[in-house]
Amino acid sequence: MDYQLLFAEALYKQLKDQLKQDKIIQLIEKPKYQEMGDFAFPCFELAKVFRKAPHQIALELSEQVVLPDAFTKIEAAGGYVNVFLDKSQVSSFVVEEVLKKKSHYGAVNQGEGAVITIDFSSPNIAKPFSMGHLRSTVIGHSLARIAEKNGFEVVRINHLGDWGTQFGKLIAAYKLWGNEEQIRKNPIKELLKLYVQFHDEAEHDSTLIDEGRLWFKRLEDGDQEALALWKWFRDESLKEFNSIYQLLGVTFDSVQGEAFYNDKMDRVVQLLEEKELLEESDGALVVETAEGMPPCLIKKKDGTTLYATRDLAAAIYRHETYGSERSLYVVGNEQTLHFKQLFHVLQKMGYDWSLELSHVPFGMMLKDGKKMSTRKGKVVLLEEVLKEAVSLARQNIADKNPSLADQEQVAHQVGTGAVIFHDLKNHRLNDVEFSLDTMLKFEGETGPYVQYTHARASSILRKGAYQEKANGLAFSGETAWSVIKCLMEFPEAVKRSFEGNDPSQTAKYVLELAKVFNQFYGNVRILDAAEERQEKLSLVHAVQIVLKEGLHLLGVEAPEEM
């Protein structure tokens, strides 16, 4: 039940000549203090329309508006109309709704089964999976689950960076300094060393850059030696990536690298030629874009292709293959211009569906306030961070709850959950400072805090020998009202997360629910008193359900015990 909508509909009956219902919904606020009511409507915008003071309009509306049964009181306070919900009726309805719907609570069918593709993670092969890659991976994974919650069919795409001039550089480095035996023992770390060495040496020897370009040209031309080295580097990378995805619980429907589109780019160039969009510039082929943007480079002077060429081919392929109505590209802020160019060229090609393509940018993962750089070797490996997080969680369990069953599983859930939650609680556009100590705290705004709250709710239900009752609940007092109101807000948090491509809305929500529940737990004797025992346990169960589902949308597991 959307009680804000009910209030808006009641107001609209009095104000339909002055305001549209959508505008009324936008104006409704939630008062800061509980004693001021549950919803408030500000009358300041109506002052010019009615030519009256806001407080006078509020007073008249409070006398004219007929509220539905779910409300008990309406009053004017300054320039606001404040309304109060029937706590008993609403509490019973909300808890029963959660218990009936369980994990489906908060779901809406906004997408009606339409397909949405989400391009995320997309690490570069032959480089370690660093903390810098974490952001795209966990943001995209969460957005996929949130989109499904909103009724969309999601195609998860991992667009591997497995092509481009960096592979020419890596092959050149391997030919100059590589040791096959060492690389076979520890492929990714040894390849990283070569990549870093190449850029260090290139600062003093510019011919190395030319050598790298030549090897990439050989790769594009199908040279057998270049292809064999490239395939070896790619296979070793995928092994490491898959072990990390397994740790994070992340899966994909399509894992296709840039190289997959090599045989599809001639068609793109041909289409651009047919539409007379290609122009020559200093020997290269470009497409002019909107004012203020540089031209989009399609082919270099030496005939090699670029990201844009492959991304055009990928966008067309995905639309034709999946019939997607929307597409999200979860890629860092630094690629904003690239995606503006990409979308603009697709529009010039006459593809109307390109209007539904969206770049979902995010800030950087910082270490000591500075960007992590693979080419300079300043990188924190994600696999090592995850393993250390799990190890610290394991030690915490050994210290505080040594008799816990399934300690290894819980340590994994808490350790990886801490890393994921630390990222997602921040708005994606903000930079995130890497701090393992902060991530793993069991108090404050952390994943372990929310997980522990879920485990606490589960423990209460076990101790209370809870038997579910989804009908006939009768709440009376005010003690649980802050928890009930928070439960009511879950569907709206899910909706905001989807519409803003912003998992932090869900993360902030579960933190708030954990906080108000822990306050309730600290003030109310749930198991001791016979009065409303079933209602109190039902409320605990509702909180348990919503915390678990909220964490699920973030890609974080919810242990029953900790």
Task: Tell me how far apart the alpha carbons of residues 508 and 6 are, in angstroms, rounded to a whole number.
Answer: 26
Cα 334 to Cα 294, 331, 376, 409, distances in angstroms: 15, 8, 18, 37
Which pLDDT score, from 0 to 100, does residue 498 have?
97
- The continuous run of DSSP H or E covering 59 comes out as helix 54-64
pLDDT at 91: 95
Higher per-residue confidence, 440 vs 293: 293
With helix as H, strand as E and coil as C, how does 444-455 read? Answer: CCCHHHHHHHHH
Please write the tens of the pLDDT for every residue from 313-324: 999 999 999 999
pLDDT exceeds cutoff 80 at 372: no
Say what the pLDDT of residue 315 is: 97
In this predicted structure, what is the pLDDT of residue 421?
96
pLDDT tens digits, one per residue of 195-214 = 889 999 999 998 999 999 99
The answer on pLDDT for 298 being more than 80 is yes
Q: Over 90: is that where the pLDDT of 133 sits?
A: no
- Note whether 169 and 401 are within 8 A (CB): no
| Angle of CA points 342, 362, 165, to nearest 5° | 50
Average pLDDT over residues 378-396: 84
DSSP one-letter string for 376-441: TTB--BHHHHHHHHHHHHHHHHHHH-TT-TTHHHHHHHHHHHHHHHHHHTS-TTS-EE--HHHHT-
Examine the pLDDT at 405 and tell me if it is beyond 70. yes
**pLDDT of res. 41:** 98
Residue 326 has pLDDT above 90, yes or no: yes
List the 284-287 sheet strands across, edge first.
Answer: 278-281, 284-287, 296-299
Please report the DSSP string for 67-96 in residue order.
--TTEEEEEEETTEEEEEE-HHHHHHHHHH
Q: Is the pLDDT of residue 40 over 60?
A: yes
Strands 71-77 and 39-42: unpaired
Over residues 86-95, the mean pLDDT reads 95
Beta strand 296-299 with 39-42 is unpaired
262 burial via Cβ count (<10 Å: 0-12, 13-18, 19+): middle
Mean pLDDT of 366-376: 64
Query: What is the rounded distance in angstroms from the CA atom of residue 248 to the CA atom of residue 449?
Result: 19
Give all domains of the chain, ordered by start, each with its CATH number.
3-85 (3.30.1360.70), 120-371 (3.40.50.620), 382-554 (1.10.730.10)
d(CA 525, CA 198): 66
Mean pLDDT lowest among 410-414, 430-434, 450-454, 535-539: 430-434
Q: At residue 248, does pLDDT exceed 70?
A: yes
Q: What's residue 376's pLDDT?
A: 53
Torsion from C-alpha of 348, 349, 350, 352, nearest 10 degrees: -80
In whole angstroms, what is the distance from residue 173 CA to residue 171 CA? 5
Please state the three-class secondary structure of 134-192 as a single string: HHHHHHHHHHHHHHHHCCCEEEEEECCECCCHHHHHHHHHHHHHCCHHHHHHCHHHHHH
Residues 6+ apart with CB under 8 A from 560: 455, 458
CA dihedral 289, 277, 325, 20 (to 10 degrees): 50
Q: Indicate if the pLDDT at residue 383 is higher than 90.
A: no
Average the pLDDT over each of 24-28, 190-194, 381-385, 440-444 and give the range with the smallest value. 440-444
φ, ψ at 370 (rounded to 5°): -120, 150
- The mean predicted confidence, pLDDT, of the chain is 92
**pLDDT, position 441:** 75
Residue 155: its pLDDT value, please?
Answer: 98
Residue 537: what pLDDT?
94
187 pLDDT band (50/70/90 cuts)?
confident
Q: Position 294: which residue type?
A: P
Choice among 5-14, 102-111, 362-371, 423-432 with the minimum mean pLDDT: 362-371
Q: Is 349 left (phi over 0), alpha (psi -120 to 50) or beta?
A: alpha
pLDDT digits (tens, 9 = 90+) for 253-281: 999 998 999 899 999 999 999 999 999 98
**Predicted confidence band of residue 515 (pLDDT cuts 50, 70, 90):** very high
